[in-house]
Structure 1
Amino acid sequence: MDAKLFSQLATQVKVGKQLPDALYLHRDAFSAIPDELAKFIPAVAKALRLNDSEWNLVKIFKKDFRLSLLHYPGFYTESYPELKQSLNVDLAKLSHKITSYESSENPPILHRKETMVLSDNEHYQHFISLTQEGENAGLYENSRLIGFKRSWENLIARHGYELVDGRLFRSSAVTVQTNDNGIDRHKTAIVRHELSAPMKSLIKHGFLEGAYSIFDYGCGRGDDLRELEAHGLDALGWDPNFQPDNEKVTSDIVNLGFVLNVIEDQDERLDALLSAWELADKFLVVSVMLANENFIAQFTPYKDGVITSRNTFQKYYAQSEIKAYVERCLQEDVIAVAPGIFYIFKDKLEEQQYLQSKYKRHHKWQQLTSPTPIEAKDRARLVITQNQPLFDAFWNTCLELGRIPANDEFENSEKVRELIGSHKKVFGLLQEMFDTEEFEQAETSRKEDLLLYFAMGLFEKRKPYTQQPEPLKRDIKALFGDYKTVINLATELLFSIADTSLIKSLCEKAHKTIPASLLNESHSLIFHRDYIDELPLLLRTYVGAGLQMYGELNDDIDLVKIHITSGKLSLTVYDDFEKSVPFLVERIKIKMAEQDIDFFDYVDEKRRPPLLNKSLYISECFTLYNKQCSFDKRLAKLLGISNNEERNMTRGEFEQGLQEECRRVSGYKITRLNQ
């Protein structure tokens, strides 16, 4: 075999972990590579007197006449196996070099093992779960930091995890003693180097800005508390192991973070939940670790959970399981905030304000007109003109609320009433002097936001009118007349999402009105998540109904797909939406009729579908909009496809198409391979 044939055969290999200059492949996957290459590699090993037991992976260089035979003894038994020995062969120079890592304290380690075997390998799904676990923990954001054992372990520690039985473990402490069954609960606490997920959710929703006191029930080593205190927040905590002498104090917000999943006694688990609930004035945050059956099967079963190799107990939940458990125990509505994180409100007014904020669009009204006095003798209009900043602020408050503000809803109400009179009188004058269409738009938008809020509230136990916040009562009276009317309208709105003909017509309307989208006729509407608030109200309700099962739309989600006839909602995550060609890394399909969610992970990079028509999902306001449009047209022409429809193509097929045309993508340029 010569260098030219070797290079040709290497480019034909579509399996394995593909890098720009090389690919990694396990020997068990040789059935999927060209037969000549599959025979040549073992022949090289035999020529250099390397036994079959001394190598199991091969690194094939794409541009050089070279290969490396690698020995990872723990490939199938260890999550991140260490390299024991490498044999690097320069076939052009007919030289080789053996490097042993057997006595090294910092050997190279292996990741993404699922890419190195075939999909029918019995370990394939397990390898996928390992990689997904690392990605969820944020460990693969910088691949340069993960290649060697020591840097990998340091990275794991910095993200607040430990390896237990080869799996990433993150938890909070619950007690210091070894219990009667010999479970070492004190070993469940770990050091955190950033705020925990439930604390981050509180930041996102504005609960950690200083207005609320925080109590961390089961605070472990107190890393969250230390960070909160550094920001001047009123935060206390208790932990039976590390902070056993601290008082359990009543606070606005109580965090029960990753505690329920480490208590093996079900009665004690219930006691922890009820104790934390008793301490909460406003609401309780409950978070647990989630896992699927394949993951749980790796451990030794014990009671309703498992025992890890560190002799700690873990109870891994499904999203619906933990939600039902907490609701059953507390007899309260539980709100899913994110996978594994839930809010349970004791203060029902606080709950309504939180729910309302989820569905309220935040208007940034810009005053474009100025009041002009019609007659100089009209004192009221002259006063308005002379105090324009004050009345501009009043008008903007009307636009924000979609109605006339109450006295306590405008901070300079006393001054306004002193100059002109009641808010109603001022509003009447301003309507004649300002652009009334702007207010009509604000009123309509506010009514839609409230209908969406009440429609989503129908998924939970309806709150009586007396438990609604005072501002919301004013909204109901001003915009709908009474509570019964708004509930009837919200119910009708929610039931309408089952009307496929209506959904179809609104998807067609939305496709014409929102800045960027793709309509698959009679099948689906795809759009960027930034334009959800610009959808017709019924489609916002459709999306909101789907998210009731999933939780809040996090920042990772890029595109949303409304399935017109099947009652499904799809959410897609791309590796980097800012790129000219982003690649799909995760797809979530929410099936509302079946009350189920399917997660599709594209861990194998070669199978990730490219987004070949990104310009359809961005508006003209996008910085590189013109470049993207031009790029998409050139790319579509090169590949012989239409860029006005949804495409199903893998990364491997995309790269092969480019290669057949001797082209490559560099940013927003399409260049020849030899350039």
Structure 2
Amino acid sequence: MSLTDRADELWESERRLTAIGRTSLSVPARQAIVDQQIRPNSSVLDYGCGRGGDVRALREVTSNVEGWDPHYLPDGNRRLSDVVLLTYVLNVIEDPDERCRTLLRAWELTKETLVVATRLVWEKSKLKGTGFRDGVLTSRRTFQHLFSAGELRSYVEDATGVRCVSAAPGIVYAFKRDEARLSYLARRIAPSAIWLTSDDAASAIASVVDYTERRGRVPRVEEMPTQMAELLAHLNTAELQRIVRVSADPEKVAEGAKRSTLTTLLFLGVELFNGRGPFGCLPLFVQLDVRAFFSSYKEACMRSDRLLLKLRDDAYVRGAMNGAKVGKITPTALYVHRRAIDHMPVVLRLYEHCASLAAGRPQEWTLAKLRHQGRGVSWLDYPEFDTDPHPRLRSSYMVDLTTLKTSHMSYEPSQNRPLLHRKHEFLHPADPDVPKYRRLTDSELRAGLYANPHLIGTEQGWEAELVRCGRQLRGHRLIKRN
């Protein structure tokens, strides 16, 4: 037996060492619940469940959960299920052919959504071992193939033959039906309508009026909550529309129509980026928006296609950034807080969404950085943005839309982390925290703290300037240093 054969034999028997004992849901399982892929009535199979932590935790969400693992649960029920979890399995399989067979077997057992998660290349520094084949043979005699975010998405697409979506870095969804994929995209871009509580016919009509003002069109009965539709059952469609038109504010309706038109264009642009389906596959509310705000589906698609093409135009993108009423623009990029992201021009929202679908938007982020020199989006995490007057950068995750390559940087080990100034510039002007942040900036300017901008971008440089100017911070107030 060769040395390679002996190593393969050891790997086959030691994969169990990669299984983690969990006391709470894994990140991919939690993401699937947040994204409404796993619902209370879903059947779920955790294929390669390891010690079964996710299986036990998911039974708090839905009782119909099964797990299978070749070592820990070989007698588990590998049955056809609505959702199949294939989490942190592919990366421990050293044989590329077996890796692909495992993915295809999980896909065969999927009725609706396959959730695939793997470890990513930026975790290489955490592994101790030597390179072998397309991965690392670790010091614990296990194997790890680390994927890039773009590689994982392409790998699952090539194997399953369907368009996939990156839900987060290292987490990919593959959908059996195009309708399910488009519904997921619609929820990411245009969250479900919020209806006012209705206890009687009068409050139900008020709720419909509110929806009409926000959406720009009267809702159809099939869009309404069941209870509301029952309260309005005594009115035919024409009567309801007449009452709503009389009661609704025309200016609010016009503003709602404009907002819905842009949201529809955004959705169709993202849909084209991710693979456009037929009109009948679109979620109902998108179909109704298309009929209400465009002459035809063809016209809506043509307009969204032009919008997507504008992402290639440097001058147009730079103009949109300069004209945006939110965010801080620098010589290379626009920085926008997540609370203000939906206030960006629609072409910039499309820019950010395309990057998130290509390689996943991280769960924890504070600012989005959109480059206007080249095409790339970074999500920056400042966890204490609201409480720290000059929050420190914890991590950044970048997607290059030209190459779909990703990179991740953690600043937690650093003793001299980057920090933020002028926090109000990253927010929408109407944000309630803007006045407080602006007052702090003004007082720092008067104190001369921004006289040396090349020094203040890091913790140590900023502290040195505070000492030089005889100042210190107490919350969001600048006071004289004792």
Q: Same fold (TM over 0.5)?
A: yes
Distance in 2 between the 1:227 and 1:482 partners? Answer: 47
Does the aligned pair in 2 maintain the 1:296–1:306 contact within 8 Å?
A: no
Tell me how large the CA RMSD over aligned residues is.
3.0
Deviation of 1:180 (Å): 7.0
Distance in 2 between the 1:547 and 1:232 partners? Answer: 29
| Change beyond 3 A, Cα 1:277–1:188 | same
Q: Partner of 1:222 in structure 2? A: 52
Distance in 2 between the 1:232 and 1:600 partners? Answer: 36
TM-score (norm 2): 0.87
Distance in 2 between the 1:335 and 1:198 partners? Answer: 13
Q: Are residues 1:394 and 2:208 paired?
A: yes
Q: Of 509, 514, 521, which aligns to 2:323? A: 509
**Cα distance per residue 1:48-84 (max 9 Å; x no partner):** xxxxxxxxxxxxxxxxxxxxxxxxxxxxxxxxxxxxx
Could you tell me the percent identity over the aligned residues?
A: 27
Deviation of 1:523 (Å): 5.0
| Change beyond 3 A, Cα 1:568–1:620 | closer
Q: Are residues 1:431 and 2:239 paired?
A: no
Aligned pairs for 1:90-489 within 5 A: 179=9, 183-292=13-122, 295=125, 298-361=128-191, 387-399=201-213, 402-410=216-224, 411=226, 412-413=228-229, 416=232, 418-419=234-235, 421=236, 423-489=237-303
Q: Partner of 2:5 in structure 1? A: none
Does the aligned pair in 2 maintain the 1:363–1:400 contact within 8 Å?
A: no
Q: Are residues 1:577 and 2:407 paired?
A: no
1:190 partner SS: coil
Q: Partner of 1:146 in structure 2? A: none
Does the aligned pair in 2 maintain the 1:639–1:658 contact within 8 Å?
A: no
Matching residue's letter, 1:216: D
Distance in 2 between the 1:437 and 1:623 partners? Answer: 25
Distance in 2 between the 1:537 and 1:187 partners? Answer: 48
Does the aligned pair in 2 maintain the 1:506–1:539 contact within 8 Å?
A: yes
Q: Are residues 1:656 and 2:464 paired?
A: yes
Does the aligned pair in 2 maintain the 1:183–1:311 contact within 8 Å?
A: no
Distance in 2 between the 1:440 and 1:623 partners? Answer: 26
Q: Partner of 1:548 in structure 2? A: 357
**Cα distance per residue 1:78-97 (max 9 Å; x no partner):** xxxxxxxxxxxxxxxxxxxx
Does the aligned pair in 2 maintain the 1:208–1:233 contact within 8 Å?
A: no
Distance in 2 between the 1:232 and 1:638 partners? Answer: 58
Does the aligned pair in 1 maintain the 2:84–2:110 contact within 8 Å?
A: yes
Distance in 1 between the 2:17 and 2:127 partners? Answer: 22
Matching residue's letter, 2:379: L
1:584 partner SS: coil
Aligned residues: 470
Does the aligned pair in 1 maintain the 2:208–2:244 contact within 8 Å?
A: no
2:295 partner SS: coil
Deviation of 1:298 (Å): 4.2
**Cα distance per residue 1:215-235 (max 9 Å; x no partner):** 111111111111121345421
Q: Of 616, 623, 626, which aligns to 2:425? A: 616
Matching residue's letter, 2:315: S
1:236 partner SS: strand
2:258 partner SS: helix
Deviation of 1:203 (Å): 2.2
Q: Are residues 1:518 and 2:328 paired?
A: yes
Does the aligned pair in 2 maintain the 1:606–1:650 contact within 8 Å?
A: no
TM-score (norm 1): 0.64
Deviation of 1:458 (Å): 1.4
Deviation of 1:622 (Å): 5.7
Distance in 1 between the 2:465 and 2:241 partners? Answer: 64
Distance in 1 between the 2:433 and 2:211 partners? Answer: 35
Deviation of 1:190 (Å): 2.2
| Change beyond 3 A, Cα 1:233–1:542 | same
Does the aligned pair in 1 maintain the 2:210–2:248 contact within 8 Å?
A: no
Deviation of 1:354 (Å): 0.3
| Change beyond 3 A, Cα 1:281–1:648 | farther
| Change beyond 3 A, Cα 1:469–1:314 | same
**Cα distance per residue 1:235-280 (max 9 Å; x no partner):** 1111111111121111111100111111222222222111111111
1:610 partner SS: coil
Q: Partner of 1:83 in structure 2? A: none
> Relative to structure 2, which stretch is displaced further, 606-615 or 211-220?
606-615
Q: Of 330, 352, 371, which aligns to 1:563? A: 371
| Change beyond 3 A, Cα 1:296–1:584 | closer
Q: Which has the higher contact order (CA 8 A, sep 6+)?
A: 2
In structure 2, runs of 5+ residues without a counterpart are 1-7
| Change beyond 3 A, Cα 1:208–1:598 | closer
Distance in 1 between the 2:134 and 2:374 partners? Answer: 36
1:607 partner SS: coil
Distance in 2 between the 1:403 and 1:417 partners? Answer: 19
Q: Of 308, 317, 320, which aligns to 1:494? A: 308
Distance in 2 between the 1:281 and 1:329 partners? Answer: 16
Distance in 1 between the 2:444 and 2:232 partners? Answer: 60
> Relative to structure 2, which stretch is displaced further, 560-569 or 257-266?
560-569
Matching residue's letter, 1:416: L
**Cα distance per residue 1:327-353 (max 9 Å; x no partner):** 221111121111111000002211111
When Rg is computed on C-alpha atoms for both structures, the one with the higher figure is 1
Does the aligned pair in 2 maintain the 1:591–1:597 contact within 8 Å?
A: yes
Aligned pairs for 1:51-66 within 5 A: none
| Change beyond 3 A, Cα 1:599–1:630 | same
Q: Partner of 2:3 in structure 1? A: none
Does the aligned pair in 2 maintain the 1:296–1:316 contact within 8 Å?
A: no
In structure 1, runs of 5+ residues without a counterpart are 1-177, 368-385
Distance in 1 between the 2:120 and 2:377 partners? Answer: 22
Distance in 1 between the 2:456 and 2:369 partners? Answer: 15
Distance in 2 between the 1:334 and 1:254 partners? Answer: 15
Q: Partner of 1:107 in structure 2? A: none
Distance in 2 between the 1:190 and 1:209 partners? Answer: 25
| Change beyond 3 A, Cα 1:331–1:648 | farther
Matching residue's letter, 1:271: R
Deviation of 1:415 (Å): 5.1
Q: Are residues 1:632 and 2:441 paired?
A: yes
Matching residue's letter, 1:518: K
| Change beyond 3 A, Cα 1:362–1:636 | farther
Deviation of 1:360 (Å): 0.5
| Change beyond 3 A, Cα 1:271–1:646 | same
2:273 partner SS: coil
Matching residue's letter, 2:437: Q
**Cα distance per residue 1:537-594 (max 9 Å; x no partner):** 122122223333331353x221223333433334322241121111223334443334
Q: Partner of 2:476 in structure 1? A: 668
> Relative to structure 2, which stretch is displaced further, 221-230 or 183-192?
183-192
Matching residue's letter, 2:37: F
| Change beyond 3 A, Cα 1:649–1:239 | same
Distance in 1 between the 2:398 and 2:31 partners? Answer: 23
Distance in 1 between the 2:43 and 2:384 partners? Answer: 37
Distance in 2 between the 1:665 and 1:491 partners? Answer: 50
Distance in 1 between the 2:455 and 2:16 partners? Answer: 52
